[in-house]
Amino acid sequence: MDATGQNGQDTAAAQQRVVWAVVGSDIGPLLLAATRDGLVSVVFHATDAVRDKALGRIGSRFGTEPVEAPDSPLLADAIRQLAEYFAGRRRDFELPLDWSLITGFNREVLRELAAGVSYGAVVGYGDLARRVGQPAAAQAVGAAMGANPLPVVVPCHRVVERDGGIGGFGGGLETKRKLLALEGVLPEPLF
């Protein structure tokens, strides 16, 4: 063992590199963060304060300071595909995703959402709970949507209330309405 107490492995080398960029979108600035495993975070309303708080959380989870790198190959596909989505030229994201910021039931629900609820469709909280074998877990599904580290790409905006209500949304109800209108689920807002 070396001075670090490891078998020749430097602690810094064991850390995961996280790169990030803020990109414009039809719903405001989005913070995108990625690791070598894939896109790890999408954050709405990426003002300086929101960005700094999100980067602090991500940095503490990965044990490294995220690096601003808008030209990084790790972000290139995500930036391009999100631009295509907002331009109405993309319905499905084909990106590697790093699921390490979410675990357990929340991860299971979000993976089902990503795989099983397509562009232009919606699903109820209870229906999504049934899909993962937990029919009484509609409220827990709501919590999983609120914990989604990859909104838009993992489309939590497509989860609505059983009675036709829009439900909640971490990015704000106006953002949810805009995303659902983009996908043709709701009419475009008049103003």
Active-site residues, by number, are 156
For the record, the structure tokens of 114 come out as: 């990503």
Closest C-alpha among 106, 132, 119 to residue 158: 119
Would you call 89 exposed, middle or buried from its count of C-beta atoms within 10 A (0-12, 13-18, 19+)? exposed
Closest C-alpha among 49, 39, 47, 56 to residue 22: 47
Find all residues with CB under 8 Å of 128, minimum gap 6, and list them. 109, 112, 113, 117, 138, 141, 159
3 state SS of 23: strand
Which residue is listed with tokens 């699903």? 123
Contact by Cβ (8 Å): 42, 149: yes
For the record, the structure tokens of 138 come out as: 């509609």
